[in-house]
Amino acid sequence: MKLSNEKLIDNLKLLGLVDLSTNKPIAYSGFKNRASVHKYGKRHKIVFLGHPRKNLFGFYVMYDNDTTVMKEAYEMFLNLISGDMVDYDFEDVQWGNAGIPLSYGNLRQEQIDLVV
């Protein structure tokens, strides 16, 4: 099930990635400190942010070095905050609450109404 942009922003706010009073995204340095890069095989990487079993975002970026991967994930994050849903529609940005996938694949969603 796809979430609306408003619901996605609410979930990002719960993670502290969007300022509650100004609706502005955190800086790249804060994003980078909260994110983790998971490598699947030799070339697939996903940048994860959040709590795996409650409120997790996955940024499915093109494979490259970790610095470039993180910058690309941050650009996807900024696009999402600005209302651009293209990356989300193409499933390059995903939301889930059923844990980090063991193999490269989509995030799963369970109990969508129960976030954090």
Does pLDDT of 81 surpass 50?
yes
Local confidence band at 111 (pLDDT 50, 70, 90 cut-offs): low
Token reading at 104: 């490269």
Asked, for residue 88, whether it belongs to a domain, the answer is yes
Asked, for residue 83, whether it belongs to a domain, the answer is yes
Domain ranges, residue 9:
5-96
The per-residue pLDDT for 112 is 53
The per-residue pLDDT for 65 is 83
Asked, for residue 82, whether it belongs to a domain, the answer is yes
pTM, to two decimals: 0.88
Asked, for residue 115, whether it belongs to a domain, the answer is no
Please compute the mean of the pLDDT values over residues 94-107 and round it to a whole number.
Answer: 90
Asked, for residue 102, whether it belongs to a domain, the answer is no
Q: What is the mean pLDDT of the chain?
A: 89
Asked, for residue 67, whether it belongs to a domain, the answer is yes
The per-residue pLDDT for 5 is 87
- Angle CA(75)–CA(54)–CA(23) in degrees, nearest 5? 45
Please compute the mean of the pLDDT values over residues 2-9 and round it to a whole number.
Answer: 88
The per-residue pLDDT for 114 is 43
Which residues have C-beta within 8 Å of that of residue 105, sequence separation ≥ 6?
A: none
The per-residue pLDDT for 67 is 81
The per-residue pLDDT for 1 is 61
* Element containing residue 6 per DSSP (H, E): helix 5-14
The per-residue pLDDT for 110 is 81
Total domains in the chain come to 1
